[in-house]
Amino acid sequence: MNIKSLLGTAAMAVVLGGAPALAADAISLGHLADYSGPTSDVGTPFGQGVADAFAWVNKNGGINGAKVNVDTVDYGYQVPRAIAQYKKWSGSDKVAAILGWGTADTEALTGFLANDKIPDISGSYAAALSDPTGAGGKAKAAPYNFFYGPSYSDALRGMLTWAAEDWKAKGKTGAPKYVHMGANHPYPNAPKAAGEALAKELGFEVLPAVVFALTPGDYSAQCLTLKSSGANYAYLGNTAGSNISVLNACKAAGVDVQFMGNVWGMDENAAKAAGAAADGVVFPLRTAVAWGGNAPGMKTVQEISKMSDAAGTAYRPVHYLAGVCTALYMKEAVEWAAKNGGATGENVKKGFYQKKDWVPAGMDGVCNPSTWTEKDHRPTMKVDIYRMKVSGATAAPLNELVKDGTVKLEKVKTVDLPRKNDWLGW
């Protein structure tokens, strides 16, 4: 066949609509996950939610027809490994954006992200990541950092607001005593100063912090300290894995205190592991419902879940749903960028500013509405507080425990915090 014939065949193919479509260039994203380190107890379900969400996106046509290549790396919660991986993602393996994880590593990368113009929506909700311009004066500018849900500081402010009301509702008099608990590490420490400042403002007596490691262990000594201090409300700043050890030790020691977990500090798996010791712990929920909740978007989540559980029988804890929401916010920001100049880091960043009270498509009633602006990366000031209820033995599989009501989440209160300028970045 000569050239003329080839051209004629090609022209005929176009006329007949038979020309093969050119595939859009794939979009690359980086995904830092902790599947093996000290926060893997909650990092695993969150990371699975992110992975399943993008597998589902690709199954349904990708982003504007382009496949999304997600490079998932288990960095074991080690900052040097996160930095080394970032250098690859910002170098020859350039990514359009990153789905990050921990506080120490995300804060260490903040300056690099800004210089390289690579957005990062992280699993860290440290308030220091929420001030894009640095105008708040509490933290360095973090123009390329995002997260979904209230910051650690705002979530704690919400729980302390509730705790002050709870104290009075119980008819208690005098100043309630508050204590911050957690590892001496950037993640548990992120909301410490903000929480203690508001606690004093609300009339709490603030006690010296009680330190315990990010890993499970024997924390009997810490519980005896807690008991002798007479603390009434205690914030658990670590992930559920080590918090379980504290809850069990404190129950054994007869400690009478209202524990308040951070968003990573409690979930259904932790309730199963801790049993009766987890009963009554309050913590913030980032999504509007938990797994199986009554919401239109739950159908979408269940379809996403089948990407790694084809039978559809797995129970997904609260962190999985938060991972799905996080991934779909990133998906839609990238989608906007691809339609408005290309999926570059600068355009993806702009994509986060395009909607107000934003819920990803198909996720109504699951992802809480979020708004990011060029001057304020706090996506919400709403704190939904839930109480973990455990009413019996927890040896059965988790989905059975939830189904029969042995383990359940009970809505306590929604606290709508003021969007104070002096809280930005703090």
Q: Cα separation of 115 and 177, whole Å?
A: 44
Is the domain of 272 the same as that of 404? yes
Is the domain of 44 the same as that of 134? yes
Is the domain of 86 the same as that of 70? yes
Question: What DSSP state is assigned to residue 317?
Answer: P
- Burial degree of 290 (CB within 10 A; 0-12, 13-18, 19+): buried
Is the domain of 270 the same as that of 173? yes
Is the domain of 137 the same as that of 158? no
- Give the model's pLDDT for residue 14: 37
CA-wise closest residue to 265 among 41, 33, 34 = 41
Is the domain of 118 the same as that of 180? no
The CA R_g of the chain, rounded to the nearest whole Å, is 23
Q: Do strands 120-122 and 177-182 pair parallel, antiparallel, or not at all (unpaired)? A: unpaired
> Is residue 52 situated within a structural domain?
yes
Q: What is the mean pLDDT of residues 186-203?
A: 98
> Is residue 370 situated within a structural domain?
no
Is the domain of 111 the same as that of 66? yes
DSSP string spanning 138-167?
A: SS---TTEEESS--HHHHHHHHHHHHHHHH
> Is residue 365 situated within a structural domain?
no
- Give the model's pLDDT for residue 10: 37
Q: Look at residues 330, 351, 372 and tell me which one is the last residue of a structural domain.
A: 351
3-state secondary structure 88-119: HHCCCCCCCEEECCCHHHHHHHHHHHHHHCCC
> Is residue 17 situated within a structural domain?
no
Is the domain of 132 the same as that of 275? no
CA-wise closest residue to 151 among 113, 122, 116 = 122
Is the domain of 184 the same as that of 200? yes
Is the domain of 49 the same as that of 146? yes
> Is residue 232 situated within a structural domain?
yes
Q: Express each pLDDT in 362-387 by its tens digit.
A: 999 999 999 999 999 999 999 999 99
Local structure of 183: helix, strand or coil: coil
> What H or E segment, with its residue span, contains residue 386?
strand 382-390
- Mean pLDDT, the chain, whole residue set: 94
Q: Express each pLDDT in 73-99 by its tens digit.
A: 999 999 999 999 999 999 988 999 999
> Is residue 364 situated within a structural domain?
no
- Give the model's pLDDT for residue 184: 97
pLDDT above 60: residue 15: no
Domain containing residue 200: CATH number: 3.40.50.2300
Q: Which residues, other chains included, contact 415 with Cβ-Cβ below 8 Å and sequence gap of 6+?
A: 157, 158, 159, 161, 162, 382, 383, 385
- Give the model's pLDDT for residue 93: 80
Range of the domain at 346: 27-150+292-351
pTM of the model: 0.93
CA-wise closest residue to 378 among 391, 387, 369 = 369
> Is residue 11 situated within a structural domain?
no
Burial string for 175-208 (b: 16+ CB within 10 Å, else e) reads ebbbbbbbbebbbbbbbbebbbbbbeebebbbbe
Other CB atoms within 10 A of residue 296 CB: 11
Is the domain of 85 the same as that of 181? no
Q: What is the number of domains present in the chain?
A: 2
Specify the range with the lowest mean pLDDT, choosing from 22-26, 173-177, 255-259, 310-314. 22-26
What spatial distance separates the first Cα and last Cα of the chain, rounded to whole Å?
Answer: 71
Is the domain of 394 the same as that of 332? no
Q: Cα separation of 130 and 187, whole Å?
A: 15
- Give the model's pLDDT for residue 18: 41
What percent of the chain shows pLDDT beyond 90?
Answer: 94
> Is residue 223 situated within a structural domain?
yes
